[in-house]
Every structure is written in structure tokens, then in C-alpha cells.
Chains A and B, each alone.
Chain A
Amino acid sequence: MEGTKEPMTEATSAAPVRAHDGNGEFIKFAEVSKRFGSNVVLDDLSFSVGAGERVTLIGPSGSGKTTILRMLMTLLRPDSGTISVNGEYLFHEERGGQLVTASESHIRRVRSKITMVFQQFNLFPNMRVLRNVTEAPVHVLGKPKDEAAERAKELLALVGLGEKLDAYPSQLSGGQQQRVAIARALAVDPDVLLLDEVTSALDPELAAEVLDVLRDIAKTTDVTMLLVTHAMKFARDVSHRVLMFNQGKIIEDRPPEEMFNEPRHERTQSFLRSVIDET
């Protein structure tokens, strides 16, 4: 398997607690549990993802795929267990030799390597396309405006929207909006890109445009990707590994050809049959 890149982020001077080393564990979930009320969504889940790896999560509705992505994005907190990225805990930090709940500023610093593209695009409707893409680089990363605009124009050209810089999101089709959202995510130079069913809200034709863009990005960058998708052919093309979830546990973890051609688990077989029947 490819995908052993050096972590892109420089070592921080504060010498963070190393949750683990090695590129094989760029993202690491250790004994993570999450419940909503009495509904146990993730149960003692452990897995890791290597730097530059592209991993697709599949599984029936409600199996916890979105929950995993939202936790990595820090939109949700685990009830127990730890999540770390590039050796740094996401929700914990060391103080006085002890692991304690992380401060907002710690979370924000670790989060700076991670970004997400959403099913509903979620562009900022109050900003034109170009500003949607430059806003975070300028105001979060502190890039000079013209430099950020140059880069944004490159990215928008990459996703095929070089002509729409001055449009408002409401003036774009869903597929165009989603491609802007992808450009916006890439503009912050993420190490980890999270994609949660990014084509589910789109007609097949528009979905295909978006998937083509993502294939391109997978080919040309070494960003680590966690994706949830029902587009199985796409998943097979871009991912290094596929994880099959069922009831908050990983029941199969294999390269896509094997997973799709000869699923071992009975639950995986029936799930794949149902997805393929649908499409």
C-alpha cells in the first residue's frame, strides 16, 4: 500500500503528548464509545488510518459512519476513549503530567489539519464563490489576500468553476455548489479530508461531476481521506481500504477489490447486495 508520506505539519514547539508514532497511525481511534441516550452508536471502537490513506466507510443506515466523521471534525465528542491525529490527542491534552480534557484552543489547533465536505454543501450564502474559498485562508491561516485569491482561483479552476468566481452560492446548481465546497476545503491545505455522502443530495449526472473531481484530487494529492459513500464504483476506484460497519463495530476491513468481490461476512454480503440493487 502506498501512502507513507511525512506528516505535513511541522512539529510544534510545545512538544505535544505523542499518542502514538508512525505513519500507519496518522488517525487513531482508541476504544471510542458514543451513545445517544440509550442508543449505543459506537462501542469500544478502535481503528487507525495511515497518512495519505483513503478509507471508505460503508455499512447500513445508523451504523455510526457519520458519527465517526463528525467526531473527527470535533462536531461531536466521544463519551470515552481517545482520538488522535498525527500523534496529538483531539480531545485531550497534557497538563501537569496528566491527560485532561483539552481546552478550546488545543482542539482548534489540532483541528486545523482537518476539514470536511458535507452532504448539503453548506456554502456560506452571504459570500460569493471566491470569498467562500478565500475566507478561511485569509482569516484563519493569515494568508495575504492576493495570495489566497490566486490559490482559490487555481482550486476553482481545478473543480471546473473558474468562471463562477463572482456568483453567489444560490445562483449555482447543487453539483457546482458541492465542487465549490471541495475547493473551499482544499484551500486550507488539510492533512485530513472528511467526505460524508457528498453526492447523495445530487442527481446522478451532477454527482458524476463531483466524483470526477474527487478522483482527480485522489490522484494528484496525498491528503488523507475518510469517505462515506454509496457510490461503490467510486469507492473501489479511490480507496485503499474499505471498512464495513455494523452496529458500531467494524466487521470487515479490507482492500476494495477483496471487499467487493468476495465479502467474507454474511452481513457485508447482504449489505452490498442491497446497495447494488438500489443503483
Chain B
Amino acid sequence: MPIGSTPPKYRVRIDNDRCMLCEQCIENCPYGTFRKEGNKILVNSRACTGCHRCIAMCPRDAIDLEEKPVDYRSHPIWTREAREAIYNQARTGKIILAGMGNILEVPPIFDRLLLDACQVTNPSIDPLREPMELRTYIGKKPSKVEVATKPNGDIELLTHLAPNLKCETPIMIGHMSYGAISLNAQLSLARGAAAQGTFMGTGEGGLHKHLYPYQDHMIVQVASGRFGVDIDYLERGAAIEIKIGQGAKPGIGGHLPGEKVDESVSGTRMIPVSSDAISPAPHHDIYSIEDLAQLVRGLKEATEWKKPVFVKIAAVHNVAAIASGIARSSADAVVIDGFRGGTGAAPRVFRDHVGIPIEAAVAAVDEKLRHHGVRNEVSVIASGGIRDSADVTKTIALGADAVYIGTAALISLGCRVCGSCYRGLCPWGIATQRPDLVARLDPDIMWENVSNLINGWTLEIAELMGAAGINSIESLRGNRDRLRAYMLDENLMEVLDVKTVGAGA
């Protein structure tokens, strides 16, 4: 039954006094928002996704964009989103898929945590003058080391050390697969990560041969679909990550629609062109924690125990106990993806309502692992909605070793978080495989944006640490004393193990 259309999401206006009719906007918009008629640019606002490509390219600042130009009658419960979802499902009767991360209007816990600084009684450290240790080793650490003195007086290490990843910064780039994003986007991220001495994930899409030069900085993923996974792939990676779950859609599988599987994506994933790539919800060889240990060891055995193996899970209610099981499965790192994690596409109801925030998850996992005496057995990597160096610093103070960034890295490539990745027409050349759009993103230039971003954050973390009188990331890790809670309730403060603002040392 036709309800008519819902109000437009955006209104685009051209200031004809400013416009010079260069037609850049027409060329740049893959959605067909603009056209020229006579001496005027005309606009179809309904085609707009709010990606800002036209605004970035207009030489005259002649384009105005307004979001939600038409108001609904306001109502605190029946929000615009609630109403529009109902119109959509009344029309289609289907599950609503949505892009990017969680849009629930609850404040991030990060914003309710404040960092510390030195005054008078303990001097701060100037990172310009003093060495700051941000290097982070990801992997198992021995609980003790045994050494022997050789006859010539040299000291020899007797303890066998498990392989670790050496990251020059606690910031890594998370898994975004080829297929979900373009090869040029992956190349930019990989080169940027390599330049900063850190690592990035391949996602579940195999490893394209153009990325081989950066393979020492890539973490290859093994997900439930096992796409692109063979022994060659496993051996190329610096580390291997088993993906159990993802913060944007805990508990469900993934699905790359056949339209996105072109010749090149097909070759990398090792599936036929145009076939759907379905990743089942569980790994069908993992139905228990013992089975997980079996896969961890299987991967290590296949690569002769030379690679650290990570296990990534979504932050769910019982995350601490699960992480503790993972810690005892021979895994070298547990990755926890919080409920604000981004994605190309997830059912809206999962994206917004399933899982828990990364802040609480990291604190709970760190506490549990320490309680069981296995914190050194495993590194903790946190991800899901990390927006800046303050979030990174707070995450580490809550107990993580390092973070994965995803959306932030894409934003450094121009992404405007428009949430239309699923259309496959990303005007920034990121979430698309259309050759003309992909060509807009030149990896030889854009890698520097990625590198700059990581560099800038790393400098800021060093400053924050210095101000707090800390000169090594090791002393920040799990150091809740450097955090204070601002307007958080007592229960949450207990989970985070953080005191309130105003409480002394």
C-alpha cells in the first residue's frame, strides 16, 4: 500500500551567483545528483548521499548541503529513524541493512573519562628532550626468563620466546577486506602502516599480489568463509588472525553480494566471478573453545610456529570469560571489537543493539586475565569507534596493549562517513570497485595521509604520556590511576576500575 515518499535526507542548493559552470560537481557525483540545463546546474537532492565529494571539488564553494531539510513532528520516542525504519519494513517486509557504525545516541564512555597530568610534586617529561618508549610488542610474553652466563661472560637467553609483532606505535589498522574496500584504499593503508612501522589487517578477502611488498606489515585473516586462505597466504602474513566475530554484527556471518565480486576480487578471494561470498555465522570447525584451540594450533603448525595467531571476537556480555578461554588456547593476542565498530553493511538491529562498548570490554578482559594470571600469555588489541589519540590513550590505560583503527583510517583517505558503502559507488574511491572511482584514490599520494594520521596520534600519545610523567607505554598499560570518571555511575566505575573525578590518588 503506497505511503508516498519519506522526506528527502538532504537538500543540495547551488548558489548561481558563485557557480562558474565548470561541471566538476556533475563529473564527481556518481549518483547523478547534478545536471546542466542551459546556463544552470540543476539538482536532484534525493540522489544525494551526503558524501561531500562535490563540495570538496567545487572551486567556488557554490554548493550548500543541508541534512534533514524537512522536519517530522518532533517526538522523543518516535524518532525520525524509528518512523522511517517502519515505513521501509512496511513496504518490503525485510531485514534492514545499514552501513558504518552504531548510531545509538548514548555518549561514548571515552568522553566520560579524563586523563591525568603532573603538577609540582611529580615532574612531567618533555618528549622532545627525553626518550619516549611507544614501541609495542604484540604476542606472548614469558612469565619469567632464564639466562645463563657463557664462559666469555656473555649472557645467553635460555627461554624460548614466542614470535611477537614489533609495532613502533600502539596504533594498528584493522581488517577491511579487498572487496569491501578498493585495492587502492588497501594499498594506501598498507603503505602508510608500513611507513609508521605498524601493521594492518587484510580482512577476509585474501591478499592481492600488489600488496605483497607490504606483507611483512600485514595480518592475514582467517574467517569462517576461509576465502583466499591457502598455505601461501598464511606464510606471507606477519601474523594470522582468526575472526570469530565483529563488533558491528556480533553473532552473525558476513555476506559479500555477487555484484561486488568482479574479476580481480574473485581472484583474490578465490571464488568464481559474481558468486555470493557467504561467511557462515560460526566457523563450522569451531563449536567450542577446544575447537578454537585446535584451529589456533593448526595455523601455527602449518606455519611452523613462526607467526603469532590472534583471535578476534566481538565485545559481548561475557567477553571477559571468552577472552580468558582464548588466552589459554595458545593464541598470542585477543582482539576485542566494541559495539561501535564500523562495517560496510550490517543488519541495523545488530549494528545498533548487539554487543557492549569497547571501554567496558577492555577493562573487564584485562581484569579477568590478570585475575587468572594469564595476562602475559596474550596481548589485548581493542577496536571499535576509536576516534583520536585520547581514545587510544584511554584504551591503553584501561588495559589494552594496542588498538586497531578502521573508520578513522578511511576518513584519512577522504571518507565522509556517509554510510552508503553498500551502494558500491563510493565517490572517494574507497568502498567501490568501479575503475573510474577507484582511480580517484591514488595510493602513491594517499598513503601519506594514513602515515600522517598515525604519526600525529603517536606524537600526541607521547605528549599525553609525558604530561602524566610516564615515559613508556608499558607503564601506561592498565594504569587506571591515570583515569578519572566524569559523570559515570558507580557500577560502571567498578567495571572500569576507575575512580571518580575529584578522588585523590
Indicate whether A and B interact. Answer: no
